[in-house]
Amino acid sequence: MAQLLLSYPSSSATLRCANYFRSRSAFGKAESWGRSLQMVQCCSTTNTSSSSKLAELLGGREVVKGRENSNNSEEFECLVSEFGWKARRLAKEDDEMRKVAAIQAEAFHIPVLFFDDVFFEFFKAEVLSGLLYKLRNSPPNRYACLVAEPNNEAIKSQNKLVGVVDVTVLRDEDVLQRLHGAEEYLYVSGLAVSKTFRRRKIGSVLLKACDMLAIVWGFKYLALRAYEEDYGARKLYSKSGYEVASGDPPWMSTWIGRKRRVLMIKRVNNFA
Residue of 185, 187, 221, 237 with catalytic role: 237
237 catalytic residue (yes or no): yes
Q: What is d(CA 146, CA 87) in angstroms, rounded to the nearest whole number?
A: 7
Residues with active-site annotation = 237
